[in-house]
Structure 1
Amino acid sequence: MTAEQPAPDVRTPRAQHGSSPQHLLATLLGEYLDSADADLPSAAVIAMLREFGVTEPSARAALSRLVKRGLIATRGDTRPPVYHLTPAAIARHRSRMRHFLTFGAQPPHWTGDWVLVSFSIPGSGRASRHAVRRSLTAHGFVGLYDSVWIRPGVHAAPVRAELESLLHPVAGARWSVLHVRFDEEAGPHGPAAAYDLTGLAAGYTAFVARFAPVRAAARRGTVDPATALVARTSAMDSWRRFADTDPDLPAHLLPQPWPRGQARETFLDVHTRLGALARARLVEVTAPHWPDAARWITHFHAPGDPTRPEPAGDPRGTG
């Protein structure tokens, strides 16, 4: 299985249906900036988001929220403000981009191990119960039964520590964290039944259909830079949700045929072929507000070996 992601130093916006301006901005910054030294004027951010139909007030609100989350910080006290990515955000972006670009490249190493959490909270602890469920979801667990949650793998220390923090102050609360294997792993009563695999498969199929036209156009070389920026960023914005929510189960627990491979090929084709064009468009729209745009704007990309993505593309746009 994929190693459990380290606890982030910054709080990235939670994935949600559709793209909020702050989620979209986080995607843009993660994709196209890779230095904490770059001074990013607020007008340049507004110009970036305008390409996606985001209004200036919404863009400023997104900036403010990302400052609160620790993704970006203001540089000095100039007016209008100038921002920069924090070193913690840069490290987080690089780790996340590697995760997104390698996700689905190889079948998981499956040992049959699961982490199981069982908890009991008195009836008066409704808020604590909701907090535990939110925490378990954030750690990649799903509810097998009402108060029994599971996730594949063996990494239990982070969730054990969080349960201790959440439930130790709650009178009468009990919880256990166990390492388990299922006698009947496959089938309607096995652990895979806890996941909405039908919905996940439908999501992958819809992704392929959505991006098939732009993939074909990219192969023909008929995509203009403005379209490339929107299409490539939208593809990443959608793909990152799969990478964050797909439990990456082994083939014997998945419905067949499983469409993730086709979705991954679609994503990588769009992402790779449109990288230089998207970067060029981003430089074009931000340069009037940011003279150093061409120096700092880059793009991540996966090279020929998809299991070893480059941390960043050539800043001249030739990668």
Structure 2
Amino acid sequence: MSGELSLDEFGGPRVQAGPNPQHLLTTLLGEYLDSSDADLPSVAVVAMLGEFGISEASARAALSRLTKRGLIAVRGDARPPVYHLTPQAIAKHRWRMDQFLGFGARPPRWTGEWVTVSFSVPQAGQRSRHAVRKALLGLRFARLYDSVWIRPGSDAGAVSKAMRDVLDGVDGGRWSVMHTRFDEEAGPHGPAAAYDLVGLAAAYEAFIARYSDLRVAVREGEVDAAGALVARTSVMDSWRKFPDIDPDLPEHLLPAPWPRAAARELMLEVHSALGSLAEARLIEVATPYWPDAGSWITHFHASEYGVSTPAGRGDQGKVSPARTAAGPRGCGS
């Protein structure tokens, strides 16, 4: 390789057909801002999203949607408007970044226990049945049989509440939440059969294939600041789905070789190596519209087991305490 890596060479989200503007803005704010005290002019947001090919109209629509969701709020009555992250958004961003960057750092704490949900809904209760399945999927349960769903671990509080909310009061609706163990966990009739582990492995392998050239370019110093911002965001947008779709099963239930560790290693290398460059580019883009950008824009840095914000940026130069990632919720949680 020679010269600097172009944005298109690694499949980064450069055109509007790529990332969802609202999703992208959430990622940018979560990755590079860590204080609710920062005044964020709307024109600076438009410029930041412009790096990804997002139009001004789409950027302002994304701001409006995040305001309605309570992640950002308007400060004062300035025109153009000035926004700030809400304290609730800061807390959520920190938790999600710890989740994204800490996922896969440790093997799950396995006790052999599964939470099992069984339910019955009358034939006429199609809407209730759909609501139950949606709730179970949202809690990362997998369907073992038609009306039997499972999840590794022992914490049944959330699913008990969800089943109560959906089915209590439904005429003829019945449900049970149980703690179970399987005699043959890895066999064709065991819990591992509920998961598409082949498809999940393929998704990890596709991640590795997509960003392998980028890792080479990073190692050879061929990614400039503009490329770093787009590339780093692309890697995180691609990685962030895995904590939601990977059930984090114990090693003895996984096909070998399992590619998650290699995918995570690639993500961490690129994410860490490009952090300072991406931060510098974001400051460069935002400063003409936001003179204080350099005092507020920061970036999350992932260590092997934890996540922290570098000192001297967020909170107007005050050192933010290191936030150690608790790691993923283990199978025994």
Same fold (TM over 0.5): yes
Task: Return the offset for 1:314.
Answer: 3.8
Distance in 1 (alpha carbons) for counterparts of 2:117 and 2:77? 48
Structure 1 residue 313 and structure 2 residue 310: aligned? yes
Distance in 2 (alpha carbons) for counterparts of 1:149 and 1:70? 33
Give the 3 Å change call, closer, same or farther, for CA 19–117 of structure 1 in structure 2: farther
Comparing 74-83 and 199-208, the one that deviates more: 74-83
SS at structure 2 position matched to 1:124: coil
Residues 201-221 of structure 1: CA deviation (Å, up to 9, x unaligned)? 111111111111111111111
Partner of 1:105: 105
SS at structure 1 position matched to 2:193: helix
Partner of 1:213: 213
Q: Partner letter of residue 262 of structure 1?
A: A
Distance in 1 (alpha carbons) for counterparts of 2:291 and 2:150? 51
Over the aligned positions, Cα root-mean-square deviation in angstroms equals 1.7
Partner of 2:72: 72
Partner of 2:49: 49
Distance in 2 (alpha carbons) for counterparts of 1:123 and 1:69? 36
Contact 1:299–1:314, Cα closer than 8 Å, also in 2: no
Contact 1:99–1:243, Cα closer than 8 Å, also in 2: yes
Comparing 63-72 and 220-229, the one that deviates more: 63-72
Contact 2:296–2:313, Cα closer than 8 Å, also in 1: no
Contact 1:144–1:150, Cα closer than 8 Å, also in 2: yes
Contact 1:182–1:190, Cα closer than 8 Å, also in 2: yes
| Identical aligned residues as a percent | 67
SS at structure 2 position matched to 1:107: coil
SS at structure 1 position matched to 2:305: coil
Task: Return the offset for 1:309.
Answer: 2.0
Partner of 1:257: 257
Q: Partner letter of residue 60 of structure 1?
A: R
Q: Partner letter of residue 191 of structure 1?
A: P
SS at structure 1 position matched to 2:115: strand
Give the 4+ runs in structure 1 shifted more than 4 A.
Answer: none
Give the 3 Å change call, closer, same or farther, for CA 183–19 of structure 1 in structure 2: farther
Distance in 2 (alpha carbons) for counterparts of 1:165 and 1:41? 41
Contact 1:225–1:277, Cα closer than 8 Å, also in 2: yes
Q: Which has the higher contact order (CA 8 A, sep 6+)?
A: 2
Distance in 1 (alpha carbons) for counterparts of 2:261 and 2:108? 13
Partner of 2:318: none
Residues 64-97 of structure 1: CA deviation (Å, up to 9, x unaligned)? 2212222111112332221111101111111111
Superposition map of 1:167-316 within 5 A:
167-303=167-303, 306-310=304-308, 312-315=309-312
Distance in 2 (alpha carbons) for counterparts of 1:225 and 1:250? 39
Contact 1:118–1:175, Cα closer than 8 Å, also in 2: yes
Q: Partner letter of residue 163 of structure 1?
A: M
Partner of 1:86: 86
Distance in 2 (alpha carbons) for counterparts of 1:65 and 1:81? 15
Task: Return the offset for 1:315.
Answer: 4.7
Q: Partner letter of residue 119 of structure 2?
A: F
Structure 1 residue 131 and structure 2 residue 128: aligned? no
Distance in 1 (alpha carbons) for counterparts of 2:206 and 2:189? 28
Partner of 2:39: 39
Distance in 1 (alpha carbons) for counterparts of 2:232 and 2:158? 34
Q: Partner letter of residue 279 of structure 1?
A: E
Contact 1:296–1:315, Cα closer than 8 Å, also in 2: no
Contact 1:297–1:315, Cα closer than 8 Å, also in 2: no
Contact 1:154–1:179, Cα closer than 8 Å, also in 2: yes
Gaps of 5+ in 2: 1-17, 315-333
